[in-house]
Amino acid sequence: MGRLPQGGDLINSIEEFCKKALVQMATFSVIGAVSSATIGAYDQKQQVYVTFKEEAPLEIVSCIGNVSLKDGKPFIHAHILLADEQGKTIGGHLFSETIIYAGEINLQELAGKPMERTYDSNTGLMLWESF
């Protein structure tokens, strides 16, 4: 459990922590607030991500994600839900250029062979092997 750096990029901060701490597989959740955010959704027909940017202070109601390997390096996949001062929410896939105002992370490292992301031709996404 720990505090993420104010002014840091949410995804990059978690990724840097994992690189330094040699974490290759983990799950995590974050609560806190951002000063701006970039989120998106996957267009399942076009197989591309659609993104949008929020230039406003917002609460991180939930941010759930995982760490696994992509191209041999720790890769963060997370989805985030944000709320404004009226409680109005927006959510989706978390992208970089989401800036931490205050962030509290619970990260649980997982033992065993790290899972790796490879290209999945059905979805066009980088996914794990099915179990």
Site residues (vs a copy of itself, CB under 8 A): 1-6, 17, 25, 27, 29, 31, 33, 35, 39-45, 50, 52, 57-62, 64-66, 68, 77-81, 83-93, 101-102, 104, 106, 110, 115, 120, 122-123, 125, 127-131
In which element (H, E) is residue 11 found? helix 10-20
Shortest Å, Cβ 22 to a copy of itself = 15
Q: Report which of 48, 125, 59, 130 is spatially closest to residue 91, judged by C-alpha positions.
A: 59
Shortest Å, Cβ 127 to a copy of itself = 6
Shortest Å, Cβ 93 to a copy of itself = 6
Per the CB < 8 A criterion, the answer to whether 46 and 90 are in contact is: no
Cα Rg of the chain (Å, integer): 15
